[in-house]
Structure 1
């Protein structure tokens, strides 16, 4: 079972039926189960746990350190950001106070905005400096939202799109949990009413014996590639899937694992799988006919979870019990710890 002792089916369902399910993601200030921090929880995003001097309650504070100096693993050069389930996010060699709890921070494809779940469990977008916050959608009572991702695809070059359209997809896909029911939902990036996203396959059906992907139990979505594909995990099956609806619905099973992340070009997916008592990072092609997997952390003596791709697709960042480590995406070297901040890594495009 992937993500050892933390994402088992029964445990995940139980988490999502409690009041604490509002915080399903693993971006809390410690290394407990995803969502262990309660709304308004405190924690430290950097040594000392304080925002830069002059931090305003509304957010937007922080400036890069002189000369691009790294602050606990982040810098303007490496694009790494770390959110901890508190008001502050480490990025650009500093900490930025968003003026509200930031959980599961993810970036827009152009790097000009972030999306996250706030302390009230709602979907919010903002500028990278914490200003310009906008609530896209408010979570209904008793429903927990987590792990948003920005699904974007340009207009179909074949001309099959609506005339005058410049975008085919510009949505926020996220996980929803209510009463033990896990499913993916989608809302326009400009805001609106969330709709259930039901992955399907045009190749599946009773006639050809190919099963349709599960409609429920889906979580941990991550979008990538030019066509807005979405990788996600199915908790009951402990499986990773890739969903593509650019031309026609097509969903295929990647294999056992959880917490998937798509490469910037959409050609590879990295995911988490438990091996010999530790959570390892695995990578494979998104082409379902190419089934070769690479264990990127074969000598793991700790747990590597919640992976994120660098913008150039050469590096992966992952959370560990001691902070954040990076590893070459081709597995050519062992992981290196780059930060002692315990939080969810992400990269600004």
Structure 2
């Protein structure tokens, strides 16, 4: 079964979560964002570290009966700190990060970070695709929404030339942002160069099946959404809504699209070797993982005891931790499923990790 649409069709596509401004307290020790604000939020978790280990490492619960140990770390406020790299966008002008909030001066939807963490991509209140600095300055409209379309979930596609493979233009060719575009009832993937200014996106059409065999069943050209990039070869995982399937698209050497799993909202690991996705089980949305290798099809339910919905998963930069959205905020868990999820934030928004 597909992930249950708790947000409505348009909201599930655009993640246009409208909540009150995020109010957090204190700043992380490395927070130098000039637009950061620090205000007290009644009822939020305390400002002591909540068991976060090394930067990007798995969150470890602390307290009686959890088996975890509190580790000294950068001050953490409602799930975010300079040490854990977690950020949360809420569909408002403010983004939670570094133990505080940053005012981007415009609505920020579906924020995603560049591979080096120096730029943020998002959809603004006008539906345009925008990139900006981490403090919200230096905003550039890569592509202006023509109207009548809903853009969502941008992701930075990138690649590095591999030894012995003649792809000298790889870095430039894959220096693009892929996103979902909905027009009417038609969903497609589109892409645009990260250096564009007021450019026109082009449709990204999934190519033929592995090996380029045109006699094989071809992947759907429409109904595609939730693109997510990972690894060093420009791979793109995405979901097809009508089929309730997750695919991976790779044209580094030659075009190839593979069906990987039944589910939605895929997220590729930083090394491109593993995939996490969402699937409904017994009335709740669970997180599943599997290898991206074609001959390794075993799947693992990372949240087998789920009593709530875990959606919109993202990987930490070191590939050890997952963050996911729940109806009550953000939870994290080890990427190998060795421990149950722990709620780290009451901020209700889209999680992302800044490298």
Task: Answer whether TM exceeds 0.5 for this pair.
Answer: yes
Q: Tell me, yes or no, if structure 1 residue 178 matches structure 2 residue 152.
A: no
Secondary structure, in 3 states, of the residue corresponding to 1:24?
helix
Superposition deviation, residue 47 in structure 1: 4.7
Alpha carbons of 1:346 and 1:2: their partners in 2 closer, same or farther (altered >3 Å)? Answer: same
- The answer (yes or no) to whether the contact 1:154–1:167 under 8 Å persists in 2 is no
Q: Tell me, yes or no, if structure 1 residue 98 matches structure 2 residue 104.
A: yes
Alpha carbons of 1:5 and 1:145: their partners in 2 closer, same or farther (altered >3 Å)? Answer: closer
Q: Tell me, yes or no, if structure 1 residue 316 matches structure 2 residue 290.
A: no
- The answer (yes or no) to whether the contact 1:60–1:98 under 8 Å persists in 2 is no
Match of 1:203 among 193, 196, 211: 211
Match of 1:289 among 285, 295, 304: 295
Match of 2:35 among 61, 68, 88: 61
Q: Which residue of 2 aligns with 1:43?
A: 20
Alpha carbons of 1:205 and 1:155: their partners in 2 closer, same or farther (altered >3 Å)? Answer: closer
Superposition deviation, residue 63 in structure 1: 6.8
Match of 2:234 among 211, 225, 228: 228
Match of 2:194 among 189, 195, 210: 189
Q: Which residue of 2 aligns with 1:136?
A: 142
Superposition deviation, residue 162 in structure 1: 4.7
Give the distance between the partners of 1:320 and 1:216, measured in 2 at CA. 28
Give the distance between the partners of 1:150 and 1:92, measured in 2 at CA. 22
Superposition deviation, residue 182 in structure 1: 0.4
Q: Tell me, yes or no, if structure 1 residue 24 matches structure 2 residue 13.
A: yes
Give the distance between the partners of 2:16 and 2:335, measured in 1 at CA. 22
Q: Which residue of 2 aligns with 1:150?
A: 156
- The answer (yes or no) to whether the contact 1:205–1:212 under 8 Å persists in 2 is no
Pairs within 5 Å for 1:98-117: 98-117=104-123
Q: Tell me, yes or no, if structure 1 residue 125 matches structure 2 residue 124.
A: no
Superposition deviation, residue 200 in structure 1: 1.2
Alpha carbons of 1:166 and 1:255: their partners in 2 closer, same or farther (altered >3 Å)? Answer: closer
Alpha carbons of 1:252 and 1:272: their partners in 2 closer, same or farther (altered >3 Å)? Answer: same
Secondary structure, in 3 states, of the residue corresponding to 1:183?
strand
Match of 2:344 among 323, 338, 342: 338
- The answer (yes or no) to whether the contact 2:231–2:272 under 8 Å persists in 1 is yes
Alpha carbons of 1:123 and 1:60: their partners in 2 closer, same or farther (altered >3 Å)? Answer: farther
Superposition deviation, residue 24 in structure 1: 2.5
Deviations along 1:93-123, one digit per CA (max 9) or x if unpaired, are: 1100000000000000011101000000000
For structure 1, which segment, 194-203 or 265-274, has the greater mean C-alpha deviation from structure 2 after superposition? 194-203
Superposition deviation, residue 6 in structure 1: 3.8
Deviations along 1:271-303, one digit per CA (max 9) or x if unpaired, are: 000000000000000112111001000000000
Q: Which residue of 2 aligns with 1:34?
A: none
Aligned alpha-carbon RMSD (Å): 2.4
Q: Tell me, yes or no, if structure 1 residue 75 matches structure 2 residue 105.
A: no
Q: Which runs of 5+ in 2 are unaligned?
A: 28-32, 39-46, 49-72
Give the distance between the partners of 1:229 and 1:158, measured in 2 at CA. 19
The runs of at least 4 aligned residues of structure 1 exceeding 4 Å deviation read 63-67
Give the distance between the partners of 1:344 and 1:60, measured in 2 at CA. 23
- The answer (yes or no) to whether the contact 2:314–2:324 under 8 Å persists in 1 is yes
Give the distance between the partners of 2:190 and 2:141, measured in 1 at CA. 16
- The answer (yes or no) to whether the contact 1:26–1:306 under 8 Å persists in 2 is no
Give the distance between the partners of 1:262 and 1:172, measured in 2 at CA. 15
Alpha carbons of 1:205 and 1:344: their partners in 2 closer, same or farther (altered >3 Å)? Answer: same
Superposition deviation, residue 157 in structure 1: 3.6
- The answer (yes or no) to whether the contact 1:106–1:114 under 8 Å persists in 2 is yes
